[in-house]
Structure 1
Amino acid sequence: MILIDPPLAEGRGRLWSHLASDVSYDELHSFARAARVPERGFDRDHYDVPSEWYHDMVALGAVPVTSRELVSRLVASGLRRRKPGTTSAPRS
């Protein structure tokens, strides 16, 4: 399933959503190509999508989820790719 979180990530003077798949990278890349998302927007396990495109991605079939849900689904599917040198701190 293609997932998209709300455009809350700030960067380069804009707000961004993350577009991801909890099935496969093939599914994600196919969706991105069909939606005309530039390849340069791919970052390890998701595409960065500007806020202006959010509603278009949803109209094309991306399922809106929270940012926490998106990460949780990526981790559960085994598709999460962390930045090199990043570890997750244990929660208490």
Structure 2
Amino acid sequence: MNLLSPLVLGAAGVCASPALYQALTGGMPMEVAMSRYLVALGICWVALSVVAAMIGEPPAPVRQAADRGADRGVDRGEDPTLEMERPPGVPAEQ
């Protein structure tokens, strides 16, 4: 996950919003609020990166049998049986 992605920046903003609000109203120095925001940014980045790594990419869609047949030349009159590679040492059937 990118550190500067909108999701990470927004999550850090939500986490540090009380400190940012206090800095805008004058109850806290801006330097303290910004340091809290930067700490929240690092924590949110790590947390969202861990979640993204656990979820992973979605699986590739399964191709339908008709799609496989069209790719194999069924519409051109060729044999539609699927071919598999044989492991080394296994003789071909004849």
Q: Write 1 or 2 for the structure with the bigger share of strand.
A: 1
TM range (shorter): under 0.3
Larger Rg: 1 or 2? Answer: 2
Q: Write 1 or 2 for the structure with the bigger share of helix.
A: 2
Using the size of structure 1 for normalisation, the TM-score is 0.24
Using the size of structure 2 for normalisation, the TM-score is 0.24
